[in-house]
A and B are shown apart, each in its own frame.
Chain A
Amino acid sequence: MLEFDRVSVGYKDLTVIHDVSFRVGEGEVVSLVGSNGAGKSTILRAIAGLLTPSRGEIRLRGQAIHRTPAYEIVKRRVAMVPEGRQLFGRLSVWDNLQMGAYTLRSKREIAESLKEVLALFPILEDRRDQRAETLSGGEQQQLAIARGLMSRPELLLLDEPSLGIMPKLVTEIFRTIREISKKGITVLLVEQNVFEALEVADRAYVLQTGRIVLEGPGAELQRSDLVRHAYLGSSGLAEAAGEEARP
């Protein structure tokens, strides 16, 4: 579905991503993991049309999109949930959802989309008239993902969905990502929470200082020495697994 082909991209004179290639297949959940500053969000911003690569090509279903403006990318059924939620804080939950449906053309489509999204996040129905800024962190993240889904995307770009969320709710967010994937939506996930990101992913790429250093199925990467030492700590995986096992 998505091919990131030998892309270099950055901000003005600063190249953050160097000659990076990866692909995301139809219906897959692919995670990009790495530490802060590795360039993960830069990749998502380039796919969303907010940054233009200096080299390489980004192709969506075989068509080059690396020079397409952001507001056109959404029409190609790609939605981005930006880092830090970035909701319209002074607008209500309902208005934020409506904003996500900008590219839909008919009332019927919007109503259907709303129904599907509320089935996934029923709490938002109760909060519909509340200002987005008054929601808890977890609810805000749910709203941000729901707003992204309102445009009925085929590819969902999630930038650090667990950032600033209490651990209990992080598990809930990743459960939702699995549910989204079951609906046939392809997910490209960028995360610092490496354990959860690899757990949910069909495949994953490890990014270090703008370059991919490791790739493979999520479960396989969880066992790799590099990931265990660099991101999970020597006993991190065992601890994390222990946490999971506890009721």
Chain B
Amino acid sequence: MAKRARFVVAAAVVTLLLVLPLLLPGPVPLHIMIMTFNFALLGVGWNIMGGYAGMFSFGQAAFFGIGAYASSWLLTAHGVNPWLGLLVGGVLAAVTAAAIGWPCSKLRGHYFAIASIAFAEIVRIHFNNWKLVGAAEGLTIPMAEPGLLNFQFHGSKAPYYYIALAFLAVGLMVSRWVATSRAGFYFRAIKESHELAMVLGISFVRYRMLATMLAAFLSAAAGTFYAQYILYLDPESVIILPISVQVVLVSMLGGAGTIFGPVVGAAILVPISEITRVELGHRGTGVDMMVYGALIWLISVYQPRGVWGFLSSLGRRKAPAPTAAPAPEARP
């Protein structure tokens, strides 16, 4: 697709997203959009470690939960502003990712995936028994004066919509930076051949940890947003395996290793999940999973590069050119 055409399409999409709250009827479609943006952000985070660096984590819910709990506990226990809590939660999640990433740095493939599930389960059980943060009862965020400063809006969901959209935009910028930076280049080298990357002198421990920390920070930001949006959280709503699985599915369906893949994946999967939940209630439990299963089967058989990969290939005749390495630069 020509550069100009791409610009026109991008401008149209951005304009549509900005005016959408004015066009959508009622709060439910807006809620679906908000949840889509939030899962897209989680997917964008996962994509940095799973899509670019090849670390298939099924434990992103742990970082989502850490972010949600950090800002919520700081707010309820110490009155810390949730925006500051968001930063603290992000840093805490990144530090936790580094702490767990170091011993897991030599694990690959299935072993890494299993370790990530175990890690998330440990975090869930810990929070379920941690009285300081409300244990199994969770935390209820007190109502505050609505406004951007307090990160609370009572009259309409539209402000949450715009904040979620802004968060996603920041996530996409981080993802783009990773995709085009030398770090991203080395992420892909490690993903393609771990041993070869080592032989070339690439410190896989350093780059795997960097990918994990970036993913953790973005997941934690999504967690803080979720907590401020729902105003209640407990371990069973934020640190559970289905969330981690959905994050992986969002990225894989949309196109792992692409910048916009997780957004496309979230735009397909989250509405399915939310609509079946709203329309079918508890009777519909599992219907979304059946649909996910069918979609994943279709995409893995017919379009392994994901929906975004398929859409991109429609826009050009030839196979995509390899991502060029950025200009060589000095390293510390």
Per-residue contact bits, chain A 43-71, to B (CB 8 Å; 1 contact, 0 not): 00000111000000000000000000111
Known: A71-B204, A103-B201. A86 touches B324 (CB 8 A): no
- Complex Cα distance A39/B157, Å? 67
B83 at the interface (CB under 8 A from A): no
CB < 8 Å: which of B192, B321, B327 contacts A88? B192
B268 at the interface (CB under 8 A from A): no
Per-residue contact bits, chain A 75-116, to B (CB 8 Å; 1 contact, 0 not): 100001010001011111011001111110111001100000
B328 CB contacts on chain A under 8 angstroms: 98, 101, 107, 110-111
B330 CB contacts on chain A under 8 angstroms: 105-107
A212 at the interface (CB under 8 A from B): no
- Complex Cα distance A88/B195, Å? 12
B189 CB contacts on chain A under 8 angstroms: 88, 99
Query: Please, which residue of chain B has its CB at the minimum distance from the CB of A97?
Result: B325
Query: Please, which residue of chain B has its CB at the minimum distance from the CB of A92?
Result: B322
- Complex Cα distance A138/B196, Å? 20
* B200:A151 contact, CB within 8 angstroms: yes
* B199:A94 contact, CB within 8 angstroms: no
* A50:B199 contact, CB within 8 angstroms: yes
CB < 8 Å: which of A72, A95, A103, A107 contacts B322? A95
A178 at the interface (CB under 8 A from B): no
| Chain B residues bordering chain A, tally (CB within 8 A) | 26
Query: Please, which residue of chain B has its CB at the minimum distance from the CB of A147?
Result: B200
Chain A's nearest CB lies how many Å from the CB of B103? 16
* B324:A94 contact, CB within 8 angstroms: yes
* B200:A102 contact, CB within 8 angstroms: yes
A69 CB contacts on chain B under 8 angstroms: 198
* B201:A151 contact, CB within 8 angstroms: yes
* A82:B331 contact, CB within 8 angstroms: no
Give chain B interface residues in 116-133, CB to chain A under 8 Å. none
Chain B's nearest CB lies how many Å from the CB of A189? 16
- Complex Cα distance A69/B321, Å? 34
* A90:B325 contact, CB within 8 angstroms: no
- Complex Cα distance A98/B189, Å? 11
Per-residue contact bits, chain B 293-332, to A (CB 8 Å; 1 contact, 0 not): 0000000000000000000000000000111110111110
* B325:A71 contact, CB within 8 angstroms: no
- Complex Cα distance A92/B188, Å? 13
* B185:A105 contact, CB within 8 angstroms: no
B321 CB contacts on chain A under 8 angstroms: 92, 129
Chain A's nearest CB lies how many Å from the CB of B111? 16
Known: A86-B193, A95-B322, A95-B324. A102 touches B202 (CB 8 A): yes
* A90:B192 contact, CB within 8 angstroms: yes
B156 at the interface (CB under 8 A from A): no
Residue from A74, A91, A103, A110 whose CB has the most chain B CB atoms within 10 Å: A91
A18 at the interface (CB under 8 A from B): no
Residue from B188, B201, B330 whose CB has the most chain A CB atoms within 10 Å: B201
* A82:B202 contact, CB within 8 angstroms: no
Give chain A interface residues in 191-227, CB to chain B under 8 Å. none
- Complex Cα distance A72/B205, Å? 12
A127 at the interface (CB under 8 A from B): no
Query: Please, which residue of chain A has its CB at the minimum distance from the CB of B206?
Result: A71
Chain A's nearest CB lies how many Å from the CB of B305? 12
B327 CB contacts on chain A under 8 angstroms: 107
Known: A90-B322, A107-B328. A75 touches B201 (CB 8 A): yes
* A50:B192 contact, CB within 8 angstroms: no
* A71:B324 contact, CB within 8 angstroms: no
Query: Please, which residue of chain A has its CB at the minimum distance from the CB of B199?
Result: A80
Chain B's nearest CB lies how many Å from the CB of A46? 13
Query: Please, which residue of chain B has its CB at the minimum distance from the CB of A75?
Result: B201
Chain A's nearest CB lies how many Å from the CB of B207? 10
B202 CB contacts on chain A under 8 angstroms: 71, 99, 102
B237 at the interface (CB under 8 A from A): no
A228 CB contacts on chain B under 8 angstroms: none
* A50:B204 contact, CB within 8 angstroms: no
B203 at the interface (CB under 8 A from A): yes
A131 at the interface (CB under 8 A from B): yes
Per-residue contact bits, chain A 109-142, to B (CB 8 Å; 1 contact, 0 not): 0110000000000000000010100000000000
Query: Please, which residue of chain B has its CB at the minimum distance from the CB of A76?
Result: B201
B residues contacting A by CB (< 8 A) are 185-186, 188-189, 192-193, 195-204, 321-325, 327-331
22 pairs from A and B in contact (CB 8 Å cutoff): A48-B199, A49-B198, A50-B199, A71-B197, A82-B199, A88-B192, A88-B196, A91-B188, A91-B323, A92-B321, A92-B324, A94-B324, A98-B185, A98-B328, A99-B185, A102-B200, A102-B201, A102-B202, A105-B330, A107-B329, A110-B328, A131-B322
**Beyond known contacts A69-B198, A95-B322, A107-B328: 10 more, CB 8 A cutoff:** A50-B195, A71-B197, A71-B198, A71-B204, A74-B201, A88-B188, A88-B189, A99-B189, A106-B330, A147-B200
A residues contacting B by CB (< 8 A) are 48-50, 69-75, 80, 82, 86, 88-92, 94-95, 98-103, 105-107, 110-111, 129, 131, 147, 151
Query: Ordered nearest first, which 8 A-B pairs have the shortest CB separation?
Result: A74-B201, A70-B198, A103-B201, A110-B328, A95-B325, A98-B325, A102-B201, A71-B201
